[in-house]
Amino acid sequence: MAKKKEKLSENKKKKDTEELKVEPPTVEEKPPAEEAEAEAETAAEAKEELSFEELGLDPRLIRALHKKNIHKPTPIQHVAIPLILEGKDVVARAKTGSGKTFAYLLPLLQKLFSESSPSKNNQAPSAFILVPTRELCQQVYSEVMWLIELCRVQLKVVQLTSSMSNSDLRTALAGPPDILVSTPACVHTCLSNGVLLPKAVQDSLSIIVLDEADLLLSYGYEDDLKALTTHVPRRCQCLLMSATSSADVEKLKKLILHNPYILTLPEVGDLKDDIIPKNVQQFYISCSARDKLVHILALLKLELVQKKVLIFTNAIDTSYRLKLFFEQFGIKSAVLNAELPQNSRLHILEEFNAGLFDYLIATDDSQRQDKENFDSGSNTERKKSRKHPKQKLDTEFGVVRGIDFKNVHTVINFEMPQSAAGYVHRIGRTGRAYNTGASVSLVSPEENDIFDDIKSVMGESDSKDSNFIAPFPLLSKNAVEALRYRAEDVARSVTKVAVRESRAQDLRNEILNSEKLKAHFQDNPKDLDLLKHDKVLSKKEPAPHLRDVPEYLLDATTQEASKIVKLARAAMGNSNTARRKGFRGKFRKSRDPLKTFSAEASKRPPKGGMKRKGLESNAGHKRKRKQPAD
Ligand SMILES: Nc1ncnc2c1ncn2[C@@H]1O[C@H](COP(=O)(O)OP(=O)(O)OP(=O)(O)O)[C@@H](O)[C@H]1O
């Protein structure tokens, strides 16, 4: 007890710790608002340093988390877990990557551990976890499965997808499972065609989660949710998780929750607020659209950014162009987009998360929707687009929102997103939980308007705004010029026809893969080794001399910058030790090599007198002082 009090006063002194606001539910005899809020905030602070044990989590779950190297709750988990264990309805709004999934999953599982008994005669699942996309279904399903397996408990979990036939759905729900992970549309289908009986749902359902709630309505699930809520019993505990707060979240709250506790990171409110984790550093490089290829080549080939890298494009053709371009330099990458079949997409995500390749080029089709959602606050347009889906593109596919790309250190915007909301959600794919991350946006003059919008949302003052987007300091003009000749030569060989053929070929391969994957996954759900998604598409053999960057091309400054990136990995908490200890407090700008280093400012002569030749050598010599990166 004394120890806890000590922790409480220590915590109160902390100025730079993240605070969570807890709004208690409206009750008849509520204390004056201010008092209530103060009490709630103190409670949140007191919990800040508590361990999973102190939060009352089942030892089996704690052991499972430890096996996955998770030792300390994130702030949202501190506050949400005890409330959910107490049976409260909760609305949790916290930044992307803040650990919202475990914040509901851990207490949900713990409740089911104690509920499940042989005498229980449920005719429908006890828990529904509803998410907006199939990718998220798969992601949540995998998280539940490994937790259950490590805990060695007998709980049955199923996920539903819209491609399942009635008989598939019936088989999946026979039993019935304890937990159902699904989009609202699939549950609605099951209710309408009698696969799920409303009475059974009313009798069995004890907990329902709406994950990524800010997306559920905008993906057009309002009718599905309305149809479901009429069967949700009053005693059922309802949880709503969201990265942002929007009119849609408010609507959902009213639709399904009863007197909930509202857990909010103070800055989460709307887009203007800070929803990018503080441990992500944001940079930009200004260059012409044509020069983007040579710049990205320099970033990757000279190792000026840390792996794994998630690269965003706005068009699928651009992603294939990049892939073909990279191939010629021996850089293996995979593409991910809404055109690929679902099984392939899931497999690509799994392989990338498992670390089988380091570069993933994603085409972010959902950004148009993000823009509509944030700009208008209405979901009419999206409803329309769900009814009339774009040809070939899978509307349930969400490449950005909510997907947990594991250990992505760097996000590169090869093309700028079309809205500030799109930017926020792209960048949110790095710096997840206690990890650090960086983003580099390549901005052409044509993209200056959108970049200005983004900057005005992120904050324009280096000293005041934690989301300030700084010029990328590690890439010198010399380094770019040194690679220009090679890059332009290869870029010319990646013609429109080559891109079109590769895209068609990849799609054909992936459709075949998808069929094989379907069968294979049924028997070996964990097997990641079946098919490769980062295979070479180009018909042209890469020239051996392009694979490695010869030393004479690298000036001392660039070599130093590359070393700095490696050093930064350790300094910024990417080592296991640092991650275990937690990141906050370590990440001071003054000590951060990425912020203090400037590729152009260094005057150190090349070590050992580096040889330089021809055009490339001349470019390498022209070094100017104190210029921005480009
Ligand atoms: N307590 C923890 N310590 C370390 N890592 C954690 C912890 N909790 C969750 N994580 C990891 O952090 C990552 C992000 O978590 P999660 O996907 O739940 O974030 P999120 O808040 O749901 O983000 P988004 O809004 O983008 O969906 C995951 O890889 C998860 O395994």
pLDDT surpassing 60 at residue 604 = no
pLDDT surpassing 60 at residue 430 = yes
Which amino acid, residue 90?
V
Residue with CA closest to ligand 1 atom 6 = 433
Give the Å distance between the CA of 432 and the centre of ligand 1: 6
Q: Output the ligand 1 site: residues, CB below 6 A.
A: 70, 72-74, 77, 94, 96-102, 243, 402, 404, 406, 428, 432-434
CA–CA distance, 146 with 462 (Å, rounded to integer): 42
- What is the per-residue pLDDT across 167-194, written as a single tens digit (0 to 9) for each? 889 999 988 999 999 999 999 999 999 9
For residue 141, which of 492, 458, 404 has the smallest C-alpha distance?
404
Angle subtended at Cα 533 by Cα 532 and Cα 539, rounded to the nearest 5 degrees: 95
Q: Relative to the CA of 69, which ligand 1 atom is closest?
A: 4
Q: State the average pLDDT over residues 423-436.
A: 79
Residue 156: band (very low, low, confident or very high) from pLDDT cuts 50, 70, 90: very high
pLDDT surpassing 70 at residue 423 = yes
Token duo for residue 292 = 């983007």
53 near 291, Cβ under 8 Å?
Answer: no
More confident residue, 527 or 509: 509
pLDDT surpassing 60 at residue 36 = no
CA–CA distance, 244 with 238 (Å, rounded to integer): 18
Q: What pLDDT, on a 0 to 100 scale, did the predictor assign at position 395?
A: 43
Q: Relative to the CA of 98, which ligand 1 atom is closest?
A: 21
pLDDT surpassing 60 at residue 34 = no
Q: Relative to the CA of 579, which ligand 1 atom is closest?
A: 4
Q: What pLDDT, on a 0 to 100 scale, did the predictor assign at position 488?
A: 92
Residue with CA closest to ligand 1 atom 14 = 97
pLDDT surpassing 60 at residue 473 = yes
More confident residue, 141 or 268: 141
Q: Is the peptide bond before 308 cis (omega within 30 degrees of 0)?
A: yes
Give the Å distance between the CA of 198 and the centre of ligand 1: 33
- What is the per-residue pLDDT across 355-403, written as a single tens digit (0 to 9) for each? 888 999 999 765 444 443 433 333 333 333 333 333 334 444 455 566 7
Q: State the average pLDDT over residues 198-204.
A: 91
Give the Å distance between the CA of 312 and the centre of ligand 1: 21
Give the Å distance between the CA of 404 and the centre of ligand 1: 7
Q: What pLDDT, on a 0 to 100 scale, did the predictor assign at position 592?
A: 44
Q: Looking at beta carbons, which pairs linking 254-258 to residues 24 or more positions away fall under 8 Å?
A: 255/225, 255/226, 255/229, 256/208, 256/210, 256/225, 256/229, 256/232, 257/89, 257/91, 258/89, 258/234
More confident residue, 501 or 326: 326
Q: Which residue among 100, 239, 245, 427 is best mutated to probe the pocket of ligand 1, counting the most ligand atoms within 8 A of its Cβ?
A: 100
Q: State the average pLDDT over residues 138-149.
A: 92
Residue with CA closest to ligand 1 atom 22 = 100
Q: State the average pLDDT over residues 150-165.
A: 88
93 near 244, Cβ under 8 Å?
Answer: yes
Token duo for residue 149 = 């397996």
Token duo for residue 171 = 């088989």
Q: Is the peptide bond before 176 cis (omega within 30 degrees of 0)?
A: yes
Burial class (CB in 10 A: 0-12, 13-18, 19+), 508: exposed
pLDDT surpassing 50 at residue 579 = no
CA–CA distance, 200 with 606 (Å, rounded to integer): 75
Q: Tell me the range of 7-21, 113-127, 219-233, 237-251 where mean pLDDT is highest.
A: 219-233
For residue 155, which of 216, 207, 222, 90 has the smallest C-alpha distance?
207
Q: Relative to the CA of 404, which ligand 1 atom is closest?
A: 17
Element (H, E) at 26: none
Angle subtended at Cα 402 by Cα 42 and Cα 380, rounded to the nearest 5 degrees: 105
pLDDT surpassing 90 at residue 616 = no
Q: Quick check: helix, strand or coil at residue 417?
A: coil
Residue with CA closest to ligand 1 atom 12 = 433
Give the Å distance between the CA of 399 and the centre of ligand 1: 17
Give the Å distance between the CA of 580 and the centre of ligand 1: 14
Q: What pLDDT, on a 0 to 100 scale, did the predictor assign at position 32?
A: 35
Give the Å distance between the CA of 137 and the centre of ligand 1: 15
Chain-centre distance of CA 601, in angstroms?
34
Q: Burial code of 18-27, b = ≥16 C-beta within 10 A, e = fewer?
A: bebbbebeee
Q: Relative to the CA of 242, which ligand 1 atom is closest?
A: 25
Residue 624: band (very low, low, confident or very high) from pLDDT cuts 50, 70, 90: very low
Residue 40: band (very low, low, confident or very high) from pLDDT cuts 50, 70, 90: very low
- What is the per-residue pLDDT across 212-258, written as a single tens digit (0 to 9) for each? 887 788 777 888 998 998 999 988 999 999 877 677 778 888 888 87
Share of the chain above pLDDT 70, in %: 64
Q: State the average pLDDT over residues 297-314.
A: 92
For residue 447, which of 471, 423, 477, 416 has the smallest C-alpha distance?
416
79 near 20, Cβ under 8 Å?
Answer: yes
Residue 515: band (very low, low, confident or very high) from pLDDT cuts 50, 70, 90: low
Cα distances from 286 to residues 127, 130, 325, 445, 447, in angstroms, run 49, 41, 21, 8, 10
Q: What pLDDT, on a 0 to 100 scale, did the predictor assign at position 187?
A: 93
Q: State the average pLDDT over residues 584-613.
A: 40
Q: What pLDDT, on a 0 to 100 scale, did the predictor assign at position 117?
A: 57
Output helix, strand, coil percentages for the chain, rounded to the nearest 5: 45, 10, 45
CA–CA distance, 601 with 473 (Å, rounded to integer): 9
Q: State the average pLDDT over residues 468-476.
A: 88
Q: What pLDDT, on a 0 to 100 scale, did the predictor assign at position 531?
A: 47
pLDDT surpassing 50 at residue 432 = yes
181 near 137, Cβ under 8 Å?
Answer: yes
547 Cβ contact list (under 8 Å, min separation 6): 329, 330
CA–CA distance, 150 with 361 (Å, rounded to integer): 33
Q: State the average pLDDT over residues 573-591.
A: 37
Q: State the average pLDDT over residues 556-581.
A: 57
Element (H, E) at 558: helix 556-571
First to last CA, the chain: 57
Residue with CA closest to ligand 1 atom 3 = 70
pLDDT surpassing 60 at residue 626 = no
Q: State the average pLDDT over residues 595-608.
A: 44
For residue 362, which of 386, 343, 337, 385 has the smallest C-alpha distance?
337
The model's pTM: 0.63
More confident residue, 586 or 203: 203
Neighbours of 278 (CB within 10 A): 17
Q: What's the mean per-residue pLDDT of the chain?
A: 74
Give the Å distance between the CA of 628 and the centre of ligand 1: 35
For residue 563, which of 521, 520, 594, 585 has the smallest C-alpha distance?
594
Give the Å distance between the CA of 189 and the centre of ligand 1: 30
Share of the chain above pLDDT 90, in %: 32
246 Cβ contact list (under 8 Å, min separation 6): 214, 270, 373, 374, 377
Neighbours of 538 (CB within 10 A): 17
pLDDT surpassing 80 at residue 481 = yes
Chain-centre distance of CA 618, in angstroms?
42
